[in-house]
Structure 1
Amino acid sequence: MKTEMPQHLPVWDDGEWTPLPSLSGEVSADACVIGLGGSGLTLIEELLHRHERVIGLDAHDVGAGAAGRNGGFLLAGTYDFYHDAIRRHGHARAHAIYGATLIEMGRIAQAAPGTVRFVGSKRVAASPQEVEDCRLQYDALTADGWPCEWYEGADGTGLLLPTDGAFDPLTRCRLLAQRARADGATLYGHSPILEIRGTCVHTPHGRVHAGRVFVAVDGRLEHLLPELDGRVRTARLQMLATAATRELQVPSPMYYRDGYEYWQQLPDGRIALGGFRDKGGDGEWTHDGSPSAVVQQHLERFLREHLGVQAPITHRWAASAGYTETGLPVIAQVREHVWALGGYCGTGNVIGALAARGVAAAALDGDPSGVRLLLGPDWSPAVAAGAPFTR
């Protein structure tokens, strides 16, 4: 396998970002948010609206985790397809979550202007069995009045979801960070968390004393908060990207084989392709954020043989994402005044933002309705969502 970019930068990184300073010394705030991805930055926005003094920390930098290294899809609903979500979570909750994600996608577009293209998405079936599953999804969506079209084209058979979109996830995070700083938040990068002792957050060269701590990371959440070990598990998701090409036209994001493979074409013609996590075996359940030869070889073969793209590969990268047994996130007050949110099962672009808004309302306003929308009416702050992860 030839790797053209040894730094494993995502295709979204234009190299123009000025890194955040690292934390040095002792600082204090009303709230400390750990993790400067989409959910952490949305949470910071919500806290600022409530007139909190906020400090944000990241082990690397803004959008350096899955939030800035994913496939750039904005999809309505949960990790499960709509008919599966109805079966697993009940019709009322599946319907409510789907509607909430549609609203949230509009918020994301408004908050990060110029980054979102509402071009729909396509689910293309990889087998006759998946075609039948697409029919079940179509029936469930249309029965509830959600926009969905049956699709048959040269690239396969499946569904077109016209309300979905594509976006630049890293630019979105950077825009959110710029606005947070302009609104009064103090952000630090390259400040990995050594310990959370009470509500004091320790980094290699400094400490944050806060009234509340929010750990808003997706992958490696169970590493920062061992209380969640067994309820969330970290997996490595891998992608590659090509130089601009006209070998095919991909007008909307595509997902295939039940979503294991996914790709889109950027406005400049580059192809960004991810997937084959299941082909890497147990080795993909890892905290290692570097691309692996096995999965990258599957991706390259799919690019060349299935998509028919021979353009040079310019980027190979990976990200860590958290998964739960339920397909819904972990949202919990794991210690006194210490909250956790993550485990988005690959849906953090939209679900993560909803989780952040819900946590802010629960922790500061005493209003758990936003979290209960996602996790059900029985949710309480001190109970992590979902059964222990057994797979």
Structure 2
Amino acid sequence: MLNQPVWADIPPPSFPSLTDTIATDVCVIGLGGSGLSCINELLAIGVSVVGIDATTIGGGAAGRNGGFLLAGLAAFYHDAVAAIGRERAAMIYRLTVAEIEHMAALMPNIVRRVGSLRIAASPEEEADCRVQMQAMRADRLPVEPYHGSEGEGLLIPTDGAFQPLHRCFWLAEQAQRGGALLFTHTPALAITDTTVDCPNGRIHARYVIVAVDGGLERLLPELRGTVRTARLQMLATAPDPHCTIPRPVYTRWGYDYWQQLPDGRIALGGCRDRFAAAEWDAAPEPSQPVQAMLEQILRERIGSRAAIEYRWAAQVAYRSDSILPIARQVRRGVWAIGAYNGTGNVIGALCGRAVAHAAVRGDTELLDLLGRE
């Protein structure tokens, strides 16, 4: 079974692997959206940066996700209010809306401001949509009731869609122009104090920022028991002129999701919960049971008969104890961001910038908002 995302339509930018011992102010591990956002913020602060990745630019979940830009945390807004309080939940939500706007302004050819739908898959979920709408309207956050061909639910007009791998490439090019040294195919084998050992080189840094999502607990054992990695799977079709899906769709409590790309292809993911035991700690390879269920949704729920041309998987990290992401110092000089509970495209960029300022400048205002327990 192929393991190629629909987003990989152009070659990744070429960067060498590390073959020497070098020194820098900050070493960032993980060259996905969060890590690259962190690197660009560090460069703006005025420090030297080395970034490494075990594979390629956006080779993990950052370049292999569903291409959704969703405001807020992974939890639905009313659940976030219940968990962390109304004021904090609203502040985070508004920050993520502003981040989507910022991304759209920087990358207009990559980001589409089309909104998103939360579609109820049961009467219970329909009732939950109404509770979410009440909570959002109470805090003057944009939301509308929705009734259309997809079903009943909510329209979130500030959300969007994007090409996640192209975003990573764009961020990497900006980082390189800003003076960062980037190395691909360079896994971090060990972090001792603030020295990072790689297969053929070593990085001595003042600070280390670990910006991987899937496998975060493997690189930082301090997070075991708090963070656990799961596999997410997707497929994509050939262009389908018979389907029209104007905006991304989240349904069945967010477990299933799809969108139609500008060229007419349908990208569909989900069903992890139906095979949960097999998806924890699983290798990032598509599996037959999940792919079969996704294909059933494609044919029966969406109604597409287009040929399936792509199947892929990625690893992401989930927290067992909080709806908040990991954004903290885990040991002296070593910081971690990740565990976005499956929706890191927007909040991850904010976490990257927050940790950059906290590590180098000691400014923890944004970090406290996003990661403080």
Where on the TM-score scale, by shorter chain, does this alignment land: which range?
A: over 0.9
Instruction: Report how far residue 19 of structure 1 moved.
Output: 3.3
Work out whether 1:107 is the aligned partner of 2:123.
no
1:368 and 2:364 equivalent? yes
Contact 1:112–1:176 (Cα < 8 Å) also in 2: no
Task: Please state how far the C-alpha of 1:15 moved relative to its aligned partner.
Answer: 3.4
Runs of 4+ in 1 over 4 A off after TM superposition: none
* CA–CA distance in structure 2, aligned partners of residues 273 and 146 of structure 1: 28
Q: Distance in 2 between matches of 1:118 and 1:110?
A: 10
Q: How many residues are aligned here? A: 372
Distance 1:332 1:119 in 2: 33
Q: How far apart in 1 are the matches of 2:356 and 2:213? A: 17
Encode CA deviations 1:106-142: one digit per residue, 9 max, x unaligned. 2222333310000000011000111100000111111
User: Aligned AA for 2:167?
Assistant: R
Q: Deviation digits for residues 339-366 of structure 1, max 9, x if unmatched?
A: 1111011121011011111111211121
1:210 and 2:202 equivalent? no
SS of alignment partner, residue 233 of structure 1: strand
Once the 2 structures are TM-superposed, how far is the Cα of residue 27 of structure 1 from its aligned partner? 1.2
Q: In the alignment, is the contact (CA less than 8 A) between 1:238 and 1:296 conserved in 2?
A: yes
Farther off after superposition, 348-357 or 105-114: 105-114
Q: Distance in 2 between matches of 1:311 and 1:19?
A: 33
TM-score (norm 1): 0.93
- Structure 2 residue aligned with 1:121: 116
Task: Tell whether the 8 Å contact from 2:104 to 2:113 is kept in structure 1 after alignment.
Answer: no
Q: Deviations over 1:167-215 (max 9, x none)?
A: 0010000000001001100100001111111111111111111111110
**1:198 aligned residue:** 193
Q: 1:288 aligns with which of 262, 273, 283?
A: 283
Q: When the two structures are superposed, what TM-score results if normalisation uses the length of structure 2? A: 0.98
Task: Give the corresponding residue for 1:156.
Answer: 151
1:351 corresponds to which residue? 347
Correspondence list, 1:1-391, <5 A: 3=1, 6=2, 8-325=3-320, 326-375=322-371, 379=372, 385=373
SS of structure 1 residue aligned to 2:346: helix
Q: Distance in 1 between matches of 2:289 and 2:276?
A: 9
Give, in whole Å, the separation in 1 of the partners of 2:136 and 2:257.
21
Q: CA deviation at 1:247?
A: 2.1
Q: Once superposed, what is the RMSD of the aligned Cα atoms?
A: 1.0
Aligned-partner SS, 2:187: coil
SS in 2 for 1:234: strand
Quote the offset at 1:16 in angstroms: 2.4
1:32-76 CA distances to partner (integer Å, 9 max, x unpaired)? 000000110010011101111110000001101111110011111
Cα distance between partner residues in 2 of 1:106 and 1:22: 34
Shift of 1:372: 1.4
Q: Which moved more, 1:363-372 or 1:104-113?
A: 104-113
Amino acid at match of 1:366: G
Distance between the aligned counterparts of 1:332 and 1:148, measured in 2?
Answer: 32
**Equivalent residue of 1:328, what SS?**
coil
Secondary structure of the 2:341 match is coil
Q: Aligned partners of 2:305, 2:314: CA distance in 1, in Å? A: 25
**Aligned-partner Cα distance in 1 for 2:11–2:31:** 18
1:111, 1:176 within 8 Å by CA — same for their partners in 2? no
Deviation at 1:335? 1.6
Judge conservation of contact 1:219–1:287 (CA < 8 Å) in 2: no
Shift of 1:287: 4.3
- Looking at structure 1, the residues matched to 282 and 190 of structure 2 have their Cα atoms a distance apart, in angstroms, of 18
Structure 2 unaligned regions, length at least 5: none
Separation (CA, whole Å) in 2 of partners of 1:196 and 1:366? 22
Shift of 1:371: 1.1
Partners of 2:45 and 2:61 lie apart in 1 by 27
